[in-house]
């Protein structure tokens, strides 16, 4: 590490990341969530660089004066003003996950939320630079398995706690602990904890640059969440995932973690055959690799092979602790016809994670779509248990659909369909829910009009925004898994479904696989 009190020359300082915040000293820019750019005052940027260089160590005022004021004597107000500005940056960019801490009568230090001090020191010493590939061998291996992918996204990487690849060169105790802590953080499935995982895996590859699974884990952490938003910072994250995966595959061709990350980044829609071949090849090499199991599980759900997907889910449940991703488990058990197990999983999920948005809505729809709309309405009427951050009209749409399923009264059906069809133009998640409601209510012409819009952009094209703008969730591709849920049975029984399957490529996949959906 450079001397912490060495003069900071911004034109010669390398860029670095603090969590989800990119810092570019030479242009004095910081780039945060959504690609939002801000130019810092020169002195503010110099102090930020000095604190970062220190890797969590305390810098005295004299240290800062030497590094940022070239040893000139300035009043305390000058340093206080800079620290106040840095604290404002931290507040304005929660994705960075840092704070400036004052040590009374000693100095200042930078603290990364959830990152141990020794890990911070290693990260600062060996940062993974934005846009720069990790160090590679002289003759890079080009057998990069860039294939289609399972729409596992968060589930495919975040559920991989505790799995370590087949290639495990010895790691010292501290680095092994960081590796384990990284997976623990990633399993929490939140932007903040995925950033913590990135930081920990960066420290792992800094300490053990030849450890392929360290690079694969870093690729997995970067890939986590790449499907949840569309903005420049997400594109940068996706590129870093590719670079880390490339390095893992150079060290260990076919590395399971890197393969799973590349599959997730590439996506699955329309590429099911190649994605399945890639994942099964990886599983032959690493049969216990949880990221590959999760990716294959999601792919099989997307092509209607629900019984096999649920059996893979059984392995996942046995190997990982409960997380909000239980909502995917509920859906796969429903699709496989294992409804009693789905009931238990849904009850466990809502008890453990009541404030999680996907968990709340999955529990509601599990009740409404599986013969218990009255129970769903009673659950939805409990205003205290509704998750925060969801617009009121989302609950109105959801409740109206359950009411229509309960009464089947024309006035209720018309009202529910009116709300659902209007919302379908606002987001892809809304369109999926409207399609399923129309199928379950027997409004098949409207259901197939939504099929045309969702998959073929006929009539209109639902935006990739999944739900409301306040939730800031996006889909990166169209999805098909919900077409094979029990509530869509009437849709699949209609002759128009076969035409749709040909149009999106599912029929071609079934032909090549030698089997159709369950």
Q: What is the pLDDT of residue 248?
A: 94
Give the residue, 294 or 313, on which the prediction is more confident.
313
- Of 265, 267, 290, 263, nearest to 278 by C-alpha is 263
- How far apart are alpha carbons 497 and 213 in whole angstroms? 43
Q: What is the pLDDT of residue 92?
A: 85
Average pLDDT over residues 46-70: 90
3-state class percentages of the chain: helix first, strand second, coil last, to nearest 5: 60, 5, 35
Note if the pTM is more than 0.75. no
Say yes or no to pLDDT of 226 above 70. Answer: no
- Cβ atoms of 16 and 96 closer than 8 Å: no
Say yes or no to pLDDT of 296 above 70. Answer: yes
Say yes or no to pLDDT of 138 above 50. Answer: no
Q: What is the pLDDT of residue 118?
A: 64
Q: What average pLDDT is seen over the chain?
A: 84
Percent of the chain's residues with pLDDT above 90: 52
Give the residue, 187 or 453, on which the prediction is more confident.
453
For residue range 242-265, list pLDDT tens digits in order: 999 999 999 998 888 898 888 888
Average pLDDT over residues 349-362: 93
- Tell me, letter by letter, the H, E, C secondary structure of 123-191: HHHCCCCCCCCCCCCCCCCCCCCCCCCCCCCHHHHHCCCCCCCCCCCCCCHHHHHHHHHHHHHHCCCCH
Say yes or no to pLDDT of 228 above 70. Answer: no
Buried b (16+ CB within 10 A) or exposed e, 307-321: ebbbebbeebeeebe
- Cβ atoms of 255 and 261 closer than 8 Å: no
DSSP letter, residue 228: S
- How far apart are alpha carbons 334 and 440 in whole angstroms? 15
Backbone torsion region of residue 8, taken as left when φ is above 0, otherwise alpha when ψ lies between -120 and 50, otherwise beta:
beta
Give the residue, 389 or 310, on which the prediction is more confident.
310
Give the residue, 207 or 115, on which the prediction is more confident.
207
- How many other CB atoms are found less than 10 A from the CB of residue 106? 11
Q: What is the pLDDT of residue 472?
A: 63
Say yes or no to pLDDT of 55 above 80. Answer: yes
* Domains observed in the chain: 10-124 (1.10.10.10), 154-321 (1.25.40.10), 400-509+514-518 (no CATH)
**Residues contacting residue 284 through CB under 8 Å, at least 6 positions apart:** none
Q: What is the pLDDT of residue 168?
A: 53
Q: How confident is the model at residue 232 (pLDDT cuts 50, 70, 90)?
A: low
Q: How confident is the model at residue 424 (pLDDT cuts 50, 70, 90)?
A: very high
Give the residue, 144 or 192, on which the prediction is more confident.
192
- How far apart are alpha carbons 245 and 256 in whole angstroms? 10
H-run or E-run covering 39: strand 37-39
**Residues contacting residue 28 through CB under 8 Å, at least 6 positions apart:** 10, 39, 40, 41, 42, 45
Q: How confident is the model at residue 453 (pLDDT cuts 50, 70, 90)?
A: very high
- Of 175, 181, 237, 177, nearest to 205 by C-alpha is 175
| Contacts by 341-347, CB closer than 8 A, 24 or more apart | 342/366, 342/370
For residue range 145-203, list pLDDT tens digits in order: 333 333 333 333 333 333 434 445 568 888 888 888 888 777 655 566 677 888 889 98
**Could you tell me the two tokens for 38?**
């801000």
Give the residue, 268 or 445, on which the prediction is more confident.
445
For residue range 3-16, list pLDDT tens digits in order: 455 789 998 888 88
- Cβ atoms of 320 and 159 closer than 8 Å: yes
Give the residue, 110 or 36, on which the prediction is more confident.
110
3-state secondary structure of 474: strand
Q: What is the pLDDT of residue 483?
A: 98
Range ranked top by mean pLDDT from 17-31, 106-120, 224-238, 461-475: 17-31
Q: What is the pLDDT of residue 12?
A: 83
Q: How confident is the model at residue 140 (pLDDT cuts 50, 70, 90)?
A: very low
| Contacts by 240-245, CB closer than 8 A, 24 or more apart | 240/128, 240/130, 241/265, 243/132, 243/133, 243/134, 244/128, 244/134, 244/205, 244/215, 244/216, 244/218, 244/219, 245/144, 245/215, 245/216, 245/219
CA atoms within 13 A on the CB side of 228: 17
Q: What is the pLDDT of residue 434?
A: 98
């Amino acid at each position: 590490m450079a001397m912490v009190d060495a003069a900071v020359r911004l034109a010669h300082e390398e860029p670095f990341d603090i969590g989800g915040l990119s810092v570019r000293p030479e242009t004095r820019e910081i780039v945060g969530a959504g690609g939002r750019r801000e130019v810092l005052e020169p002195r503010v940027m110099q102090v930020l660089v000095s604190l970062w260089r220190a890797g969590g160590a305390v810098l005295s005022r004299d240290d800062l004066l030497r590094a940022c004021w070239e040893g000139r004597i300035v009043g305390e107000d000058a340093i206080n003003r800079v620290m106040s500005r840095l604290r404002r940056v931290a507040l304005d960019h929660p994705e960075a996950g840092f704070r400036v801490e004052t040590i009374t009568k000693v100095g200042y230090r930078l603290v990364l939320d959830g990152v141990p001090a020794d890990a911070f020191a290693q990260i600062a010493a060996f940062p993974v630079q934005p846009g720069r590939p990790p160090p590679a061998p002289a003759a890079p291996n080009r057998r990069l398995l860039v294939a289609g992918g399972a729409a596992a996204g968060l589930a495919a990487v975040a559920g991989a706690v505790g799995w370590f690849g087949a290639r495990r060169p010895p790691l010292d105790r501290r680095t092994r602990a960081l590796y384990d802590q990284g997976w623990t953080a990633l399993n929490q499935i939140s932007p903040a904890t995925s950033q913590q995982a990135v930081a920990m895996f960066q420290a792992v590859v800094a300490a053990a640059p030849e450890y392929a699974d360290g690079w694969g884990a870093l690729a997995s952490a970067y890939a986590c969440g790449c499907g949840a938003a569309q903005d420049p910072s997400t594109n940068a994250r996706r590129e870093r995932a590719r670079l880390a995966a490339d390095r893992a595959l150079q060290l260990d061709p076919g590395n399971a973690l890197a393969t799973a990350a590349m599959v997730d980044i590439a996506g699955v829609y329309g590429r099911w055959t190649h994605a399945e071949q890639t994942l099964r090849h990886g599983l032959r090499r690493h049969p216990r690799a949880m990221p590959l199991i999760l990716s294959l599980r999601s792919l099989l759900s997307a092509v209607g092979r629900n019984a096999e997907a649920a059996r893979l889910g059984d392995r996942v449940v046995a190997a990982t602790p409960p997380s909000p991703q239980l909502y995917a488990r509920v859906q796969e058990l429903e699709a496989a016809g294992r409804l009693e197990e789905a009931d238990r999983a849904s009850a466990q999920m809502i008890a453990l994670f009541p404030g999680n948005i996907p968990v709340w809505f999955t529990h509601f729809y599990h009740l409404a779509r599986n013969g218990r709309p009255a129970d769903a309405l009673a659950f939805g009427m409990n205003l205290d248990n509704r998750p925060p951050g969801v617009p009121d009209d989302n609950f109105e749409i959801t409740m109206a659909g359950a009411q229509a399923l309960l009464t089947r009264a024309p006035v209720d059906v018309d009202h529910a369909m009116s709300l659902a069809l209007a919302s379908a133009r606002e987001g892809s998640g809304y369109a999926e829910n409207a399609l399923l409601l129309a199928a379950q209510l027997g409004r098949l012409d409207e259901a197939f009009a939504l099929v045309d819009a969702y998959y073929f952009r006929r009539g209109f094209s639902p935006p990739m925004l999944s739900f409301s703008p306040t939730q800031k969730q996006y889909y990166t591709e169209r999805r098909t898994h919900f077409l094979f849920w029990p509530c869509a049975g009437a849709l699949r029984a209609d002759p128009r479904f076969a035409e749709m399957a040909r149009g999106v490529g599912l029929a071609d996949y079934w032909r090549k696989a030698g089997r159709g959906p369950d």
